[in-house]
Amino acid sequence: MPSLSLGDMAQSVMLRRQNTRLNSELNRLAEELATGQTADPSRHLKGNFSYLGALERDRTVLESYGMAAAEAQLFTGAMQSALGHVQDMSGDTAADLLAAGNGAVPEVVRSESGKAGNAFAAMVATLNTSVAGQTLFAGARTDSAALSGADEMLSAIRGVVAGESDLPGILAAVEAWFTAPGGGFETHGYLGEQSGLKPFLLGENETVSLNLSADAPQLRNILKHTAIAALAADPALGLPNELQQSLLTHAANGLLAAQDPLTSIRADLGYAEARVEEIATRIASERTASQYAIGALLGVDPFETVTRLEEVQLQLESLYTATVRLGRLSLAEYMR
């Protein structure tokens, strides 16, 4: 029977090829053992990627919804915090003004009127709050402030009040500036859009809208009464002390009456917060399920992997032994 043999060069090439193949398989098995997932999805799934593709698409969509939910949580939380700050300031201001309005000490009236001016500035700054570069209470115009500066607005209101000398006239002038269509607040005070924020898309047919801006009647009312108190003792107006007291009392009562409407819009916002939280929890649960399904689809049996790893390691060691022995073969070695 004729015999076939390999030349030295061919044998060397064959051994290197075997070494490369076994090392590659050893690395692949080590990676799979470390990650618990296949390093060769095509081989593992036998070329059928349809189910994996569907799972990957679902995970990508859920990730985008999750980001939108996180943004909605950030916005609703920041809005609720801002409104809470405005409510606290307006409530404290009302209590202080009520006490000052019932007294007759001009110094106290001036002091509380000055404090109301500071509160007005703080309220304006709070309603101009932005999160992640987007203004909260400017409606759809999130790239600019919601309100003009406090000094600018008080200066404009001072201008329309300057010609009035009694309580009804002053109150009517301030009321018109804040509430009249096309009045000072709409043309110079509020800088945002009438339309609300773009709804957050949190699911295929699920959105959450936050239609709350600084021109809401409840917030205008609080700003209006705070501005009245801030201008009551304004030296430029030179109003008599008795009229100043009347203005502080009217502003205090107005701020107290404004607490329930503000609580109502905070409650509506709280409902939106709860809904966003519920949706975010569901999205997180679905993402976890999707990731688990992908992991199960691409997962490998660790015991089978260890067994195969030991087999390949043994084959590689045997190859090294054979290579060493073949390398030592020579005529001189044979003749000994």
Kindly tell me the burial class for residue 201, based on how many C-beta atoms sit within 10 Å of its own C-beta (0-12, 13-18, 19 or more): middle
Mean pLDDT of 231-236: 92
pLDDT at residue 6 tops 50: no
Helix 50-101 and helix 217-232, axial crossing angle in degrees, nearest 10: 30
Helix 241-257 and helix 259-298, axial crossing angle in degrees, nearest 10: 40
Pseudo-torsion of CA 101, 102, 104, 109, nearest 10°?
-20
Q: Are 117 and 228 in contact (CB under 8 A)?
A: no
Predicted pLDDT of residue 159: 92
Domain that includes residue 301, residue range: 19-35+42-53+290-335
Shared domain for 158 and 276, answered yes or no, is: yes
Mean pLDDT of 297-309: 64
What's the domain count of the chain? 2
Predicted pLDDT of residue 295: 65
Shared domain for 312 and 240, answered yes or no, is: no
Shared domain for 123 and 31, answered yes or no, is: no
Largest CA distance in the chain: 131
Q: Which residues sit opposite 200 in a β-bridge?
A: 208
Asked whether residue 4 is domain-assigned, the answer is no
Predicted pLDDT of residue 324: 65
Predicted pLDDT of residue 29: 61
* Higher-pLDDT residue of 58, 36: 58
* Higher-pLDDT residue of 204, 171: 171
Mean pLDDT of 38-58: 67
- Reported confidence tier of residue 1, pLDDT bands at 50, 70, 90: very low
What secondary structure letter does DSSP report for 194? S
Among 288, 304, 319, the domain-final residue is 288
pLDDT at residue 21 tops 70: no
Quote the pTM value. 0.75
**Residue (of 260, 235, 219, 231) closest to 116 by Cα position:** 231
What secondary structure letter does DSSP report for 299? B
Predicted pLDDT of residue 36: 62
Shared domain for 171 and 105, answered yes or no, is: yes
Shared domain for 313 and 247, answered yes or no, is: no
Mean pLDDT of 186-197: 86
Shared domain for 140 and 65, answered yes or no, is: yes
Shared domain for 147 and 201, answered yes or no, is: yes
Shared domain for 282 and 305, answered yes or no, is: no
Shared domain for 311 and 173, answered yes or no, is: no
Query: What residues contact residue 35 under an 8 Å CB cut-off, 6+ apart?
Result: none
Element (H, E) at 202: strand 200-203
Query: What type of residue is 333?
Result: E
Q: What CATH number is associated with residue 224?
A: 1.20.1330.10
Shared domain for 242 and 311, answered yes or no, is: no
36 phi and psi angles, rounded to 5 deg: 80, 5
Shared domain for 97 and 188, answered yes or no, is: yes
Q: What confidence tens digit (pLDDT) does each residue in 133-191 have?
A: 889 999 888 888 999 999 999 999 999 998 888 999 999 999 999 999 989 999 999 99
Token pair 């001189």: residue? 332
